[in-house]
Structure 1
Amino acid sequence: MKKRLFFLIITVMMVCTTAVVCSTATELPTLNWVLQTVETSLTDPRVEECVKFADRVAQRTDGKFKIRVVLAKELGIDRGEFPQAVGSGTIEMAWLNTSVTGGISSLSYTGLFNLPYLTVDQDTCLTAAEAINDMVFEDMKALGYQPLPPNSFFVFTPQDLLSKNPIPNLADLNDIKVRVWRDLDAKLIQSLGGSPVYMPVTEVYIAMQRGVVDAVNTGPNGMVMASLWEVGKYYYAVGLEPSGSWIVANNKKWNDLPPEYKKIIEEENVAMIKAMYDKYLTSTREQQDILVKNGVIINQPSQEEIKAWRDAGKPIWDEWAQQDPRNRKALDAAIKALGF
């Protein structure tokens, strides 16, 4: 009798447990989110990883949680409007580039990723991002959004130089006309004796042909996309700051997610960021290989030249730090973490 009662209790417990699990599963909401990117092509390596991330989330939720990855201007929202759009909940998730967050008053210190020769590659960018992570998380939450946990910062490809002619000494640019697209890079080029010229990368090909500029500062991806190997054969891996981006989610939308969905997002976000890290390395090499196959010569700066560029950058760092006490705090944290 006792044995029969025992099995009866176990059976009832199993039925109840199964009912609870099934009930929980059926009660999970059906959601459709948007993840806004800044890129214009689904073949961009980072966009590809976002699409894979969204696919994995959908698979693990039996199609109940769908995330649509959208390209620049697809929704008619400019990248400068992303913070307001995600903060208000107009979109659920977005890339927030450091070039954009640096223009937000309470996040001005994220402009440290635009400081020339403070960060020069993926690892130094990630080190600097970790150094200011607590500041960023707190201040972004106050604006209505937050980085995906545990970390959602990724880095764009390095910004190097492609020149029509050999550059004998990178420490003395000797009035070489260099296409730039960022103000602080222009200051750096000028302090090294060069002449910065602001220009969209789409205009560089003809400008180099005509001698309007002698060299271009952009990433290897941009050089390949614009076929710049046809007008410049000398590549200098100077490693100007690559900049980066956080993937953020609207606070309320995130807080309203069931714990099951949050767990899936966190786990798949880790996989996505790791894949982006790996693709940074492979994509850069692949693009440089294409340039080499088309006759471009890759040159590595000497230690003396690197020191000259960093020394030229330091006064620019200090000038920027003086603009806001938070800038100084972030810069000091980054310098300490980077070991300068």
Structure 2
Amino acid sequence: MTLSRRSVLAGTAALSAGAAFGFTIRTASAAETLTGVTYLPPSYADLAYGSQGFVDFVTDNHADAVTIDFYDSGRLLSADEQLPALRSGTIDFMFHTTSYITRSLPILGITGLPGVVGPLYENPDRLKIGSPLFELINTELNKQGLTALSLGGGIMEPEFIWSTGSPGIRTLEAIDGKKIRVVSFEATKAIEDFGGAAVRIPSSELYLALQRGTVDAAVANISTINGRSVQEQIKQVFTVPVTAYGIGIFVQTDRYAAQPDAVKSAMQAGAAWFDENSAKTANEDYYEQQYWPKFRESGVEVIEPDQAALDRFAEVSANVREAWIQEVGEEVGKKAIALAMGESA
């Protein structure tokens, strides 16, 4: 479009008139665009509920401040690539399961310690935003330049031992000599302490691994079993809480702190929604009401350990907790465990 001398003069006159009457001329500022990722696909409806819900909440309520460019299913980054990308500033935030990154961020191991995850799962408030345990975790994460905006308001239902064959794994003693799929370091140590051979297999390969006898059993959350249709290969599940995980929203501390206040307010509001709904919805609406009834109807036998078995598991797994304490530091480790167990620290 060509501007004539008359139009320029008219525009100048309008600006002058506006100034004369005390009007303020403002320019609209574009919303900040933040890039976020998760490796989990939408088919994991229980786990995706929280991450997609966070994105939707921020978009619906704070579109003037933030535009979110969100990639699920590893479309932008694989699970192993997410943390390096966050640290380098390639992405602005990530959703990640804690069990995947405890080797890089040891303090997150508190969400998967044998003998601790049972009480922590039953008392989700101990991990909510602002709780002493949540603040302790962030103090340690901050030392590595990272911050958790939320850890989902609690951990997901613990990972149990799902086995094929007959009789399968129905007791702690039956672990001895079995090849068992694991993911986390904490689960690996626990299984090895009972004489099992821990085999690291991604969930995408678990169905065939069980079908072909590559492994005899799997330590897994019910979400993995359902999401990969592994129940088709499973005969029984021994519900001793071997390990667990949470799903957190992680940001680079300095990069996040430098964002405009409106952006931080939007992200914090979204994190509060995530904290209230992520773990709670997965554990109650999906697991209790949908997945477990379906599995029982399909013939999967649920074997619950008695108190003696739980005590024995906690006793034998003590060295796993001790190894973790040495890794994060005695003061921090003991304090974190005490807080997770509901004790004063």
The question of a shared fold, defined as TM-score above 0.5 by the shorter chain, is answered with yes
Task: Indicate the residue corresponding to 1:327 in structure 2.
Answer: 329
Match of 1:290 among 294, 300, 319: 294
3-state SS of 1:155 partner? coil
Contact 1:35 1:70 survives alignment (8 Å): yes
- SS of the equivalent of 1:103 reads coil
CA distance in 2, matches of 1:115, 1:177: 21
Q: Which runs of 5+ in 2 are unaligned?
A: 1-20
How far apart are the structure 2 equivalents of 1:187 and 1:251? 32
On the 8 A contact 1:152/1:248 being kept in 2, the answer is no
CA distance in structure 2 between the aligned counterparts of 1:43 and 1:109, rounded to whole angstroms: 26
8 A Cα contact 1:158 1:240, kept in partner: yes
Shift of 1:33: 1.1
CA contact (8 A) 1:155 1:280 kept: no
What is aligned with 2:94? 94
Q: Distance in 2 between matches of 1:168 and 1:295?
A: 16
Change (3 A) 1:41 1:253: same
Counterpart-to-counterpart distance in 2, 1:332 and 1:135: 12
| Runs (5+) with no aligned partner, structure 1 | 1-14
SS in 2 for 1:41: coil
Identity over aligned residues, as a percent?
19
Which digits, 9 at most, give the CA deviation of each residue in 1:136-158, with x for residues without a partner? 32343454442227x66653442
- Does residue 299 (structure 1) correspond to residue 290 (structure 2)? The answer is no
Q: Cα distance, 1:109 vs. partner?
A: 3.1
1:115 is aligned to 2:119: no
**Cα pair distance change 1:284/1:251, threshold 3 Å:** same
Contact 1:152 1:273 in 2 (8 A): yes
Could you tell me which amino acid in structure 2 is paired with residue 59 of structure 1? D
| SS of structure 1 residue aligned to 2:319 | helix
Q: Which residue of 1 aligns with 2:236?
A: 234
Q: CA deviation at 1:169?
A: 5.5
Quote the residue 1:12 is aligned against: none
Report deviation, 1:204.
Answer: 3.9
AA partner of residue 304 (structure 1): A
Find the residue that maps to 2:173 and give its secondary structure: coil
Q: Structure 1's 257 and 315: CA in aligned 2 closer, same or farther, altered over 3 A? A: closer
In structure 2, do the counterparts of structure 1 residues 61 and 111 end up closer, same or farther at CA, with 3 Å as the change threshold?
closer
Distance 1:160 1:169, change over 3 A: closer
- Equivalent positions of 1:113-152 (< 5 A) are 113-120=111-118, 122-123=121-122, 127=126, 130-148=131-149
Deviations 1:24-53 (Å, cap 9, x if unpaired)? xx6444222112113133653333332232
Judge conservation of contact 1:54–1:67 (CA < 8 Å) in 2.
yes
Structure 2 counterparts to residues 205-284 of structure 1, below 5 A: 205-281=207-283, 282-284=285-287
Evaluate the alpha carbon distance shift between residue 226 and residue 98 of structure 1 in structure 2; reply closer, same or farther with a 3 A threshold: closer
TM-score, length-scaled by structure 1: 0.78
Partner Cα distance (1:284, 1:69) in 2: 26
Kept in 2: contact 1:237–1:298 (CA 8 A): yes
Partners of 1:50 and 1:168 lie apart in 2 by 34
Q: What is the alpha-carbon root mean square deviation over aligned residues?
A: 3.2
Q: Which residue of 1 aligns with 2:163?
A: 163
CA–CA separation in structure 2 for the residues paired with 1:231 and 1:82:
31
Deviations 1:218-244 (A, max 9, x none): 121222233333332212221222122
Which letter maps to 1:272? F
Offset of residue 96 of structure 1: 4.2
Q: Secondary structure at the match of 1:247?
A: strand
